[in-house]
């Protein structure tokens, strides 16, 4: 009998997130959405006069915060309800309305930064002294003064705000295609039974010991993307075009520079990441050679890269057990951290299992003033235990930051976002390796750790290089086609995996199924964040004096400091190549450890 996907209405309440903690009902959401409309209408009263006095400026800035907080609550609730079942027409409409309100919010606020930029810095210093409560906005103002050349006139800012909905078209269309419309069909599982292939089951099938199942899942999935490759290439091209458009309008030298500027990250950090990985390709090639040897295959294919190499280890882990494992693995972070983790587990922060129409993947999200939320599509394997630890790392980062920072600085930049999540993973894998019951399980876990390196540091850097290449092409006036995208991606895949892996023709299409490419220059931060996390976790495990408190200080920092300076609290300097190089050395060490374990 084919395994069916559960419908949303049949999911147990305890396995769903408590959306009522934001709004107890959709009716209350509607009321707040109406209130948001009124606030949007009301706010332009400050246009042209917000800087006329210190007191009036404070009032305007506080109203801006209130408007943003309201918009955030409305938007987050609507989209998370939509993500529960992307085929639900009610929440499709609610999500679309929330997006429209968010755009209108941006339009209503579009005059603020141009007016603030026009305020002389000396006058701002005077206003701060006159009204003490303005002190909280000092970093916000200093950031504006620093970004002055990229903020346009109020008329142009209003135009860009109104264009935002159109600019999000490629991402929204891809999301609808990838989450709601595309159906991959059926494959035969290990028992020979017809089973529906879904996003959530794809990785599970790639971990199957049955090579026929792995190959069938791989070929079946990419057959569907192949059928739509020209449409998806058009979406990708338009998406890159919108990024280039915004960068040029804001007077940046490139879309890469524009994307990194928000966190004040020099483009050299991006380039150095790619260079450091290029200089450390050999450990990856060695690992692929070891994988081919341990799997006992003449040729190692792309569908062979996820299956565990240690046959005898059964890592079937139900969700309740996963929570206990995560708590134990993160115990080195102290009782304060664990108490917050338990709160999330016990009070329905998490939407646990896949259901029909549910958004694929996993994320942590939320709105200021309520606890964070985590979306999972949990299946009973080790990878999903790490996903739980990863996303709860994000969630507790938000929890600490929201508790410590006023609203303007509670949100943290993407560059540091992946540090907290990946630090959790690093601590957890160390715990599991230390507590392995035998040599086979230890080898299995080291294999897993190496695969995390491969997927996060090497693969995400490959993604980053792909993005840099295609954005540069568009900036140079070239178009993107399915043929050119496939050629670029296939060449990079060969370079990063080496001669010990057969780059199957289907892998050329992998670009077409990566949602993160619709958020330009995001993925490199997985690799830099992973490197920083390895450095911090090593300090914690080594018992460095005061490091846990420093780490919690980092978690509480929000955006109150530049990202580079936040990480320096923990003694990690990402303005150098050292953290990336050290992480790659750790990868090489663990490749040797696995070789020794399997030979002895």
Query: What count of other Cβ atoms lies within 10 Å of the Cβ of residue 291?
Result: 22
Res 222 pLDDT > 70 = yes
* Cα three-residue angle 181-186-189, rounded to 5 degrees: 135
Residue 2 has what pLDDT? 44
Contact 256, 270 (CB under 8 A): yes
Residue 190 catalytic? no
Contact 587, 453 (CB under 8 A): yes
CATH 1.20.140.70 fits domain 8-167: yes
Eight-class DSSP state of 576? S
Element (H, E) at 389: helix 382-404
Q: Give the separation between CA 213 and CA 297, rounded to whole angstroms.
A: 16
Which residue's entry shows tokens 């929570």? Answer: 323
Which residue's entry shows tokens 């954005």? Answer: 471
Higher pLDDT, 352 or 161: 352
Res 3 pLDDT > 70 = no
| pLDDT tens-digit series, residues 170-216 | 999 999 999 889 999 999 999 999 999 999 899 899 999 999 999 99
Q: Give the separation between CA 462 and CA 456, rounded to whole angstroms.
A: 10
Eight-class DSSP state of 252? -
| pLDDT tens-digit series, residues 307-357 | 888 765 667 899 999 999 999 999 999 999 999 999 999 999 999 999 999
Q: Give the separation between CA 72 and CA 592, rounded to whole angstroms.
A: 48
| pLDDT tens-digit series, residues 390-447 | 999 999 999 999 999 999 999 999 889 889 998 999 999 999 999 998 888 898 899 8
Which residue's entry shows tokens 């006069």? Answer: 49
Q: Which residues pair with 196 in a beta bridge?
A: 186
| Boundaries of every domain in the chain | 8-167
- If DSSP codes are grouped into helix, strand and coil, which group holds residue 463? helix
Which residue of the set 113, 391, 467, 510 is catalytic? 391
Mean pLDDT of 556-578: 92
- Residue 195's region, left for phi above 0, alpha for psi from -120 to 50, else beta, is beta
How is residue 276 written in tokens? 């450091």
How is residue 253 written in tokens? 């030298």
| pLDDT tens-digit series, residues 298-307 | 999 999 999 8
The answer for residues whose C-beta is within 8 angstroms of residue 146's C-beta and 6 or more apart is 264
Q: At what angle do helices 169-176 and 229-249 cross, to 10 degrees?
A: 150
Mean pLDDT of 49-76: 98
Mean pLDDT of 573-588: 88
Residue 312 has what pLDDT? 58
Which residue's entry shows tokens 């299992």? Answer: 353
* Cα three-residue angle 373-379-381, rounded to 5 degrees: 115
Percent of residues in the chain assigned helix, strand, coil, to nearest 5: 70, 5, 25
- Residue 401's region, left for phi above 0, alpha for psi from -120 to 50, else beta, is alpha
Residue 313 has what pLDDT? 67
Residue 568 has what pLDDT? 94
Helices (H) and strands (E) in the chain, counts: 26, 5
Mean pLDDT of 472-490: 98
Q: Give the pLDDT band of residue 223 (cuts 50, 70, 90).
A: very high
Nearest CA to 367 out of 62, 81, 103, 69 is that of 69
| pLDDT tens-digit series, residues 355-364 | 999 998 999 9
Nearest CA to 534 out of 573, 456, 586, 577 is that of 586
pTM to 2 decimals? 0.80
Residue 454 has what pLDDT? 94
Residue 499 has what pLDDT? 95
Element (H, E) at 196: strand 194-196
Q: What percent of the chain has pLDDT over 90?
A: 84
Residue 383 has what pLDDT? 85
């Amino acid at each position: 009998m084919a395994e069916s996907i559960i419908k949303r209405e049949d999911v147990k309440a305890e396995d769903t997130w408590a959306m009522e903690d934001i709004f107890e009902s959709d009716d209350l959401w509607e009321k707040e959405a109406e209130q948001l409309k009124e606030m949007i209408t009301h706010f332009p009263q400050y246009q042209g006069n917000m800087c006329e006095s210190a007191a009036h400026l404070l009032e305007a800035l506080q109203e801006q915060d209130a408007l943003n907080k309201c918009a955030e609550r409305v938007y987050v609730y609507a989209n998370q309800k939509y993500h529960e079942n992307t085929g639900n027409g009610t929440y499709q409409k609610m999500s679309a309305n929330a997006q429209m309100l968010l755009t209108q919010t941006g339009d209503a606020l579009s005059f603020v930064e141009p007016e603030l930029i026009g305020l002389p810095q000396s006058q701002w210093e005077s206003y701060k002294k006159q009204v003490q409560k303005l002190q909280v906005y000092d970093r916000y103002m200093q950031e504006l003064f620093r970004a002055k050349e990229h903020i346009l006139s109020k008329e142009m800012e209003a135009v860009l705000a109104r264009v935002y909905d159109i600019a999000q078209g490629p991402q929204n269309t891809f999301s609808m295609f990838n989450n709601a419309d595309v159906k991959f069909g059926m494959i035969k599982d290990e028992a020979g039974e017809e089973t529906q292939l879904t996003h959530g089951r794809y990785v599970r099938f790639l971990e199957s010991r049955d090579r026929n199942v792995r190959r069938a899942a791989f070929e079946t999935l990419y057959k569907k993307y192949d059928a739509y490759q020209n449409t998806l290439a058009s979406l990708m091209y338009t998406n890159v075009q919108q990024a280039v458009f915004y960068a040029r309008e804001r007077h940046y030298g490139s879309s890469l520079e524009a994307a990194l500027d928000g966190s004040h990250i020099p483009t050299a950090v991006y380039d150095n990441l790619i260079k450091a990985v290029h200089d450390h390709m050999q450990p990856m090639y060695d690992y692929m050679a070891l994988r081919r040897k341990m799997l006992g295959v003449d040729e190692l294919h792309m569908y062979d890269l996820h299956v565990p190499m240690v046959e005898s280890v059964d890592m079937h882990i139900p969700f309740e057990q996963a929570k206990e494992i995560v708590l134990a693995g993160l115990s080195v972070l102290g009782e304060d951290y664990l108490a917050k983790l338990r709160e999330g587990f016990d009070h329905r922060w998490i939407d646990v299992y896949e259901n029909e129409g549910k958004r694929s993947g996993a994320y942590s999200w939320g709105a200021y003033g309520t606890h964070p939320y985590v979306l999972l599509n949990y299946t009973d394997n080790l990878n999903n235990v790490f996903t739980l630890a990863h996303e709860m790392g994000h969630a507790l980062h938000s929890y600490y930051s929201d508790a410590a920072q006023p609203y303007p600085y509670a949100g943290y930049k993407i560059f540091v976002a992946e540090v907290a999540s990946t630090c959790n993973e690093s601590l957890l894998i160390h715990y599991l390796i230390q507590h392995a019951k035998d040599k086979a399980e230890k080898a299995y876990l080291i294999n897993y750790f190496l695969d995390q390196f491969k997927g996060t540091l090497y693969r995400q850097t490959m993604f980053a290089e792909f993005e840099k290449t295609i954005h540069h092409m568009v900036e140079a006036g070239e178009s993107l086609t399915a043929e050119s995208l496939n050629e670029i991606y296939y060449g990079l895949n060969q370079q990063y995996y080496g001669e010990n892996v057969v780059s199957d023709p289907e892998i050329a299409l992998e670009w077409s199924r990566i949602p993160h490419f619709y958020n330009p220059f995001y993925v490199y931060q997985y690799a830099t964040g992973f490197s920083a996390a390895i450095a911090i976790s090593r300090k914690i495990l080594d018992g460095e004096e005061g490091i846990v408190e420093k780490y919690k200080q980092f978690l509480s920092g929000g955006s109150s400091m530049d990202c580079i300076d936040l990480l320096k609290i923990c003694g990690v300097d990402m303005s150098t190549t050292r953290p990336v190089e050290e992480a790659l050395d750790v990868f090489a060490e663990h490749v040797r450890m696995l070789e020794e374990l399997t030979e002895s």
